[in-house]
Structure 1
Amino acid sequence: MDNILEYTILLISLFLIEWIYIKLAEKYKFVNYRKFENRSLTGYQQTIRGGGIIFIISILISVFLFSFHNYYFLAGLFLLTIISFLDDVINVNFRTRLIFHAVAAVLLLCQFKLLDLPIAYLCFIGVFIIATINAYNFMDGINGMTGGYSLLAILSFYYINSNIVQFTSAQLLVVTGLSLIVFNFFNFRGKAKCFAGDVGSIGIAFITLFFMGQLILKTGNVSYLFLLLIYGIDTLFTVFFRKIKGENIFEAHHSHLYQYLVRYLTLPHLYVSSIYVVSQLIINIVLLSLLAKSHVYIFILVLVVICVYLMVRFYLEEKKKQRIKFNLVKQHDDFFVK
């Protein structure tokens, strides 16, 4: 009962903090104008940036309430918060951001006590951490995506921690989950009051990696990485397709599958976000049921998901070509009409 009361008070406190942040951001014009291209929203909408700062605040609260002593992780999160918040405000150049991300990755390796590994392994893990942080950021493009997907990840970790193997602080998972509930209240809606911003998407990515690292080190099972399979597949294949098209993979784009679903099937943002969350939920349920069995079953699961993804992707690529062709014909006809 005491825990329920504490968490209720904490939930209300986080809600008030987020509400105050939104009011201050509105006052000081800390906003973006986001373009919508689906049947539920059209034109541009003014949206508060940086609402995901609540994720970092929840971790700081945990430090004081629950004697949280993972200081290397906290230092890495602090660095990412600074550079990401600055990037939300003044657009920091990519190289500077990359340096901060690399330092944060090293600090996370220190937290996991992995620095005695061979240099090749350290480089691979470091690149994976940086890539995951940025992939999470790239996926923060529509309402409900970051908040919904991250909440599912935290709930999955909590289930594993409670029912399969205890690998981290249950209190920390609950507090992180509460911050995501608060954020979703303001973001998981047709007209979002705020979105995560770099500070939120990168912050929650680093927090998720922290939990993921603890879980894998405790169990020795890297299959738990597939708890984030949808994000991973969408990011990897988007980069792959952009690369073979000769595009600069570091430039802003609208080539993710979720962006295609919004643009070329004109699905509302929350429909698309829900598709991602529900798909990952199904994968997580199947994955957890297969962990005690042969890795062959997990491989088949991943292969099936990739095949389904590619079928949808190729269908939408064709829709994209048809849209481009239609626009070119329309421009040609309009030119001669004028």
Structure 2
Amino acid sequence: MINLALVLLPLYFLLFELYLRVAKRCDITDVPNQRSSHTKVTVRGGGIIFVVGAFTAFVLGYIGIWPLLGLIISALAGFVDDLHPLPTWPRLLAHFSALLLLLWGGGLFILPWWLIIIIMIIFTGWVNVFNFMDGINGITVLYSLVALGTFYFLPEVKEYKDLIVVMGLALIVFAFYNFRKKAIAFAGDVGSISLAFLIGFLWMDLIFLSDRFYYILFLSVYLLDALFTILIRLLNRENILKPHRKHLYQYLANELGQPHLKISLFYVLIQLFINTSLIYWSKKQEISISQTLMVLLFLALSYLAVRYMVWQKILKMQHREMQK
């Protein structure tokens, strides 16, 4: 595997540099607007390197044709959306089509029809949740490294260890251009959606193979921020399909002016702590559904407490500004 890394890392760096040149020439860039958390024009769609990584894994025999096709369909819809914003329904159709290929390849159509529908709704929701959370430098690439790193050490998905390594190499290359004060490139929808598809594929496989509900907590930080943000926006009667800056990490970055890298590390280290704690705990005893729900409740209350404190701080800052 070390020899493979010595070959793939230079290749991925070369391909990324080529993409940067093409993207700049073709004006595939992200121009800051009132919803942005960045202040300079930045190349968009750098996450295409993850598609390259998945294709490399397929050539090496680390992933099957059906998951690869599903990932490519999802990524293609994301790349088109990066170039020219797509309406909601074509994007959702692409996600559903990709998942159908994944279910077909995995032989899961033997499941009851109602369970297939539930899986499709949850999986599509996860892809969009992951995409929504891609808003500041480093957060997506670091979170993905933690997620894939966790999966790497779980025996239930040991057959995908080589796939995880290959994708990890692609993530490391992307991190070089993204995990910095002023990012050179953003993942774009093509990157965040393809990563969401891959992580969702491994996550779904993990839960089905192990029959352990507590594995849902391995992605809980992203899930909680996204789901509570959606609920709050629904309570405020907002259109949840429209772009916004109301995630907790966006409040920290935009309203409170915290550094992007600091926030990204904050999110990632919390998820890493949760994952390592669960792995250690599960080796001591089996974690029940009730215990999982208790942990989830504690995390949810902790998130809401932090969000409330951040919001109060923002209100005080706005009040001081109005008094000037």
Residue pair 2:213, 2:292 contacting (<8 A) in 1 also: no
Give the C-alpha shift of residue 242 in structure 1: 0.6
Residue pair 2:181, 2:260 contacting (<8 A) in 1 also: yes
The equivalent of 2:189 in structure 1 is: 198
SS at match of 2:31: strand
Unaligned runs of at least 5 residues, structure 1: 334-338
CA distance change for structure 1 residues 68 and 294 in 2, over 3 Å: closer, same or farther? Answer: closer
Q: Structure 1 stretch 221-230 or stretch 233-242: which is displaced more?
A: 221-230
Q: How far apart in 1 are the matches of 2:213 and 2:162?
A: 24
TM-score by length of 2: 0.93
Look up the equivalent residue of 2:84 and give its one-letter code.
I
The equivalent of 2:3 in structure 1 is: 5
Residue pair 2:69, 2:98 contacting (<8 A) in 1 also: yes
Q: Deviations over 1:256-278 (max 9, x none)?
A: 01001112322100000000000
SS at match of 1:24: helix
CA distance change for structure 1 residues 76 and 37 in 2, over 3 Å: closer, same or farther? Answer: closer
TM-score by length of 1: 0.89
Look up the equivalent residue of 2:246 and give its one-letter code.
S
Give the C-alpha shift of residue 299 in structure 1: 3.1
The equivalent of 2:148 in structure 1 is: 154
Residue pair 1:37, 1:262 contacting (<8 A) in 2 also: no
Q: How far apart in 2 are the matches of 1:104 and 1:37?
A: 29
**Does 2:82 correspond to 1:88?**
yes
The equivalent of 1:336 in structure 2 is: none
The equivalent of 1:183 in structure 2 is: 174
Look up the equivalent residue of 1:135 and give its one-letter code.
V
Q: How far apart in 1 are the matches of 2:105 and 2:211?
A: 17
Q: Structure 1 stretch 114-123 or stretch 289-298: which is displaced more?
A: 289-298
Q: Decide which of 5, 12, 27 is 2:25's aligned counterpart.
A: 27
Residue pair 2:57, 2:63 contacting (<8 A) in 1 also: no
SS at match of 2:227: helix
- Aligned residue pairs total 321
Unaligned runs of at least 5 residues, structure 2: none
Q: How far apart in 1 are the matches of 2:186 and 2:153?
A: 27
Residue pair 1:132, 1:205 contacting (<8 A) in 2 also: yes
Q: How far apart in 1 are the matches of 2:157 and 2:30?
A: 41
**Does 2:292 correspond to 1:294?**
no
The equivalent of 1:274 in structure 2 is: 265
Q: Percent identity?
A: 35
Q: How far apart in 2 are the matches of 1:108 and 1:146?
A: 23
Q: Structure 1 stretch 212-221 or stretch 268-277: which is displaced more?
A: 212-221
Q: Structure 1 stretch 209-218 or stretch 120-129: which is displaced more?
A: 209-218
Q: Decide which of 42, 61, 70 is 1:76's aligned counterpart.
A: 70
CA distance change for structure 1 residues 125 and 28 in 2, over 3 Å: closer, same or farther? Answer: same
Look up the equivalent residue of 1:287 and give its one-letter code.
L
Give the C-alpha shift of residue 298 in structure 1: 3.1
The equivalent of 1:223 in structure 2 is: 214
Q: How far apart in 1 are the matches of 2:110 and 2:215?
A: 23
**Does 2:86 correspond to 1:99?**
no
CA distance change for structure 1 residues 237 and 43 in 2, over 3 Å: closer, same or farther? Answer: closer
Q: Structure 1 stretch 14-23 or stretch 176-185: which is displaced more?
A: 14-23
- Larger Cα-atom Rg: 1
